[in-house]
Structure 1
Amino acid sequence: MNPTDAEAICRLSATQTAALIRSRELSPVEVTDAVLDRIDAVDGELGAFCTPTPDLARATARRIADDIAAGRDTGPLAGVPLGVKDLISSKGIRTTSGSHAYADFVPDEDDIVVERSVAAGAVVLGKTNATEFGYSATGHNPLFPVTRNPWDLDRTPGGSSAGSAAAVAAGLGPVALGSDGGGSVRVPAALCGIFGFKASMGRVPVYPGCRDERYPGVSGWESVEHIGPLTRTVADAALMLSVLAGPDPRDRHSIPCADVDWTRRRPTGPLRIAYSPDLGRVAVDPEVRRVADEAARVFEKDLGAEVDRIDLQLPDYSAAFGAIVAAETDLTGMRAMADRLGPAMSPHLATLVRTPWTAEQFTDANLVRKAVVNRVARLMSTYDLILTPTTSVAAFPVGVQGPELIDGRMVPTDHWTSFTPLANLTGQPAASLPAGRTRGGLPVGVQLIGRHLADGALLDACAAYEEAAPWRDAWPTAV
């Protein structure tokens, strides 16, 4: 592959891009121009970026090129193009959270993750589309055109980090930032055929975002929210973690972090994996189950892991998760916003914020959460990893919240995302790995959940799977 060819540049990983720029085989300007040209060519139909910033990106690339020429330190992400989810604050760049309430909002400060990425040399391409305040796992909001799946433009990319996933999958930058309060990094990663990673709670600090009380809608998800990368390789996620991880006093959940080289592979040793294809209760499409079963086989037969198919025997946490999210939402502010916006707010969000809640529901939800956390902690004393499908189905048509029928069962329209909130409730690290495709050619992902704070071990297991069942040469054909 000629790395100076524009298409080849757009297919480079972040790790490759950074290495070629450091060696001066590529310039940051060449890389930025190639990616911006591809955005111009395909994003009109894809809808990944809601606020592109080409002038800023080119100016940043030129500055980094000058720094390299002068021999100055430019950081581990020098010249790497980066998309930033529209729920994540970026100083001087419109950040709407997918809502008419913030249609013209321009933050005066960066989120910590943007601050660290830019300091490490990343070139911000713009803001990627997201659902309104992240309260949906699809790709549409009332403010911008719908984001579509690059594998099939009539289907959803998943969400709420819809634009970030679609962009990375389509070659509109090798990495993008997403937020994950219940699976919003992992779900779209699965539907778009890329890698999505959320670290242990507190490993990557968050501020302002859900930690800042000033912004109704944005300030929810306090105890479950994470920010993580969407990438095409595990190595790129490890590279991003090396930039993003570490405590910050602005986030009370952030944790001390030893000086760890997250990009260094560690011997995995024999793994013990608890495989649950349905959590004992979730309706799963047979095509998804087939791919998940094959992933379990790869771990067992190709990687020598001990894989036990288990019934997790967890309480149904779906209602509890909804109550916890509601309890951490500024319902007064959101209800006033719903009254003010009227039909300009997403109907499902307006319904959610107007739902009456009781103190008993919030108390019961916390009891369910404790039961889930304790049950999983006991399980992780025996197993290194939990393996599940990431979602119950592959990508479905745009315009709906989810299928109402899965494997012959009538289900709520959010049922298809039942697997991912588990790791948000427990705070464990979790990833979605591309594991195969349906017979119709749509990507299917599997979820790996690691032990609490064992982020490196989880990344190592993901990297081992990537080597055994490589996916990076599978590119979408719809764009």
Structure 2
Amino acid sequence: MTTQQSQICQMSGSEQAHFIKKKQLSPVEVMDAVFDRIHSLNPTLNAFCVLDEENARKSAKQAEKAVMSGDELPPLHGVPIGIKDLVPTKGIRTTFGSKIYEHYIPDEDDVCVARLKDAGGIIIGKTNIPELGYQCITDNPLFGLTRNPWDLGKTPGGSSGGSAVAVATGMTSLTIGNDGGGSLRIPTSFCGLYGIKPSFGRVPLYPGCRNPKYPGASSWETLESNGPITKTVEDSALMLSIIKGPYHMDRHSLPNDGMNYMEQIKNTDLKGLKIAYSPDWGYVTVDPAVRKITEKAVKVFEQLGCEIEIAHPGFTDPLPAFGAIIARDSDLTGLRKLAEQYGEEMDPSLLAFIQKKWSAEELTDAAFVRQEVNIKMRTFMEKYDLVITPTSAVPPFEVGINGPNRINGQKVSRSHWLSFTAPFNMTGQPAANVPAGWTDDGLPVGLQIIGRHLDDSLVLRASTAFEEANPWRNHLPKLVAEVGF
């Protein structure tokens, strides 16, 4: 890899777009650089599971012609973008991480993909996920596991793990992930990146929100949000400005909030904001390293002039109910038919979930638990502008497991480490991960910033202020530095 190619891979997506428009960088040069990086690192990391190299290179040549002819260029003109394999892409194989859909090629783009392409972005491939997106790690029977570039023996989290690893290693600067229980925030926490789960409905879901032809290959309709995974807050603000807004096929999509998030993040004055810091919700067992690093990160907001209070919203552990909501949002009938036919080829933990017998009481009780969490959070946030917590209760853990069964010496459930993220899929509030710091052995730890209902703008502003005060972008995995980043 040449020095110039390394510099290209180090750029943010916004920088790549800027230099392309200024004719200081060619879309073809950018494409050459990212594919060189992919071919160098992907065999080790398994971030991309499907590449569309031939078409991406053709699109880059067309983008270069538009630059040279003086055409008016859209905001992401010529910039490579990776798309999570759970998000449909027209003409590009979309497997949902399952042998069942190994050869499926969608005939339409998800609406967020179409909007990114309209904005000039070039789709380069699909990033790896757990089967059908049902785990918060990244491993599946079709493509295998994805490794964390900070430590190859550790997981990058999931289910957007491939997207996060691709950005963390410069295989691309921009990716789309989605988040039904932490699936975007966890990987950005584990990979030292920025990611925002926007307010529920801010980014429409279609056709991912339904797929009757392909059972199981659909989103969790009342929990899930698509969103960006990027090196910088600026890149996420740019992407979110492009993909947000209503779409008639998604009944949950929100009216356009009229915000240009790129303009909003220019205001990083947070003085006077009231922020609640909850290190453990009052009941979560947290790894000591995570607690130490996030407590230090909270002091950054104090230095920015915010008023910090340690406080908890007061809800009880909603994770058992959360599992029932996932079941209610899933096509269980279709999934069970698939399990009868393909069970031996499916992930065992997914198979166990599908085969569990859910009672009507479990499903209705879960709805009431969600109401309780929602009401307590909204009441809590009448007093606060933002809430901050750890993103994950643990740093990245070993590949091959779905979660640790002990934290800080205490026995916990395998899902306990997700206690900070899932509640905001239940409430629909915007929530972002910012890199808070690194453990003594060099593993990233994230801080979660949660806004009031629909206040995506303040979450982005607070994230930008934190990034300026506590920059993370030049903190690189050793693996990346070794290939010339």
- Residue 25 of structure 1, CA deviation: 0.4
What is the letter of the counterpart of residue 275 of structure 1?
A: Y
Secondary structure, counterpart of 1:340 in structure 2: helix
How many correspondences in the alignment? 476
Deviations, residues 73-121 of structure 1 (Å, cap 9, x unaligned): 2310111111000000000000000011111000000000110001101
Deviations, residues 6-59 of structure 1 (Å, cap 9, x unaligned): 101000001111110110100111011101101011110010000011111111
1:50/1:127 contact within 8 Å kept: yes
Q: Distance in 2 between matches of 1:120 and 1:458?
A: 24
Secondary structure, counterpart of 1:446 in structure 2: strand
What is the letter of the counterpart of residue 196 of structure 2?
A: F
Q: 1:72 to 1:105 in 2, by over 3 A?
A: same
Secondary structure, counterpart of 1:224 in structure 2: coil
- Residue 340 of structure 1, CA deviation: 1.1
Secondary structure, counterpart of 2:450 in structure 1: strand
Q: Which range moves more in the overlay, 65-74 or 328-337?
A: 65-74
Q: Distance in 2 between matches of 1:42 and 1:244?
A: 29
1:386/1:450 contact within 8 Å kept: yes
Note the 1:232-251 alignment, pairs <5 A: 232-251=231-250
Note the 1:155-166 alignment, pairs <5 A: 155-166=154-165
- Residue 415 of structure 1, CA deviation: 1.2
Q: Which residue of 2 aligns with 1:278?
A: 280
- Residue 154 of structure 1, CA deviation: 1.1
| Percentage of identical aligned residues | 49
2:85/2:97 contact within 8 Å kept: yes
- Residue 343 of structure 1, CA deviation: 2.1
What is the letter of the counterpart of residue 30 of structure 2?
A: V
Q: Which residue of 2 aligns with 1:470?
A: 471
- Residue 220 of structure 1, CA deviation: 4.1
2:52/2:123 contact within 8 Å kept: yes
Note the 1:368-447 alignment, pairs <5 A: 368-447=369-448
Which one of the candidate residues 267, 271, 296 is aligned to 2:298? 296
Q: Which residue of 1 aligns with 2:203?
A: 204
Q: Distance in 2 between matches of 1:215 and 1:156?
A: 29
Deviations, residues 377-396 of structure 1 (Å, cap 9, x unaligned): 01111101110100011111
Q: Distance in 1 between matches of 2:310 and 2:344?
A: 46
What is the letter of the counterpart of residue 66 of structure 2?
A: D
Q: Which residue of 2 aligns with 1:153?
A: 152
1:64/1:74 contact within 8 Å kept: no
Q: Distance in 1 between matches of 2:34 and 2:343?
A: 38
Q: Which residue of 2 aligns with 1:20?
A: 19
Q: Distance in 2 between matches of 1:155 and 1:340?
A: 33
Q: Which range moves more in the overlay, 71-80 or 322-331?
A: 71-80
Asked if 1:34 corresponds to 2:33, the answer is: yes
Q: Which residue of 1 aligns with 2:215?
A: 216
What is the letter of the counterpart of residue 28 of structure 1?
A: P
- Residue 215 of structure 1, CA deviation: 2.5
1:288/1:444 contact within 8 Å kept: yes
Gaps of 5+ in 2: 481-485
Q: Which residue of 2 aligns with 1:6?
A: 5
Q: Distance in 2 between matches of 1:84 and 1:203?
A: 18
Q: Distance in 1 between matches of 2:435 and 2:330?
A: 32
1:387/1:447 contact within 8 Å kept: yes
What is the letter of the counterpart of residue 215 of structure 2?
A: P
Normalising by structure 2, we get a TM-score of 0.96
What is the letter of the counterpart of residue 429 of structure 2?
A: Q
Q: Distance in 1 between matches of 2:70 and 2:321?
A: 54
- Residue 4 of structure 1, CA deviation: 7.1
Q: Distance in 1 between matches of 2:132 and 2:146?
A: 15
Q: Distance in 1 between matches of 2:412 and 2:134?
A: 19
Secondary structure, counterpart of 1:203 in structure 2: coil
Secondary structure, counterpart of 2:478 in structure 1: coil
Q: Distance in 1 between matches of 2:213 and 2:301?
A: 46
Q: Distance in 1 between matches of 2:92 and 2:438?
A: 37
Q: Which residue of 2 aligns with 1:336?
A: 337
Q: Distance in 2 between matches of 1:333 and 1:25?
A: 51
What is the letter of the counterpart of residue 469 of structure 1?
A: N
1:153/1:478 contact within 8 Å kept: no
Gaps of 5+ in 1: none
1:48/1:128 contact within 8 Å kept: yes
Deviations, residues 402-437 of structure 1 (Å, cap 9, x unaligned): 111101111111211111011110001110000001
1:315/1:371 contact within 8 Å kept: no
Q: Distance in 1 between matches of 2:277 and 2:455?
A: 18
Q: Distance in 1 between matches of 2:85 and 2:164?
A: 13
What is the letter of the counterpart of residue 398 of structure 2?
A: P
Q: Which range moves more in the overlay, 186-195 or 303-312?
A: 303-312
- Residue 312 of structure 1, CA deviation: 2.3
2:270/2:304 contact within 8 Å kept: no
1:97/1:218 contact within 8 Å kept: yes
Q: Distance in 2 between matches of 1:339 and 1:182?
A: 27
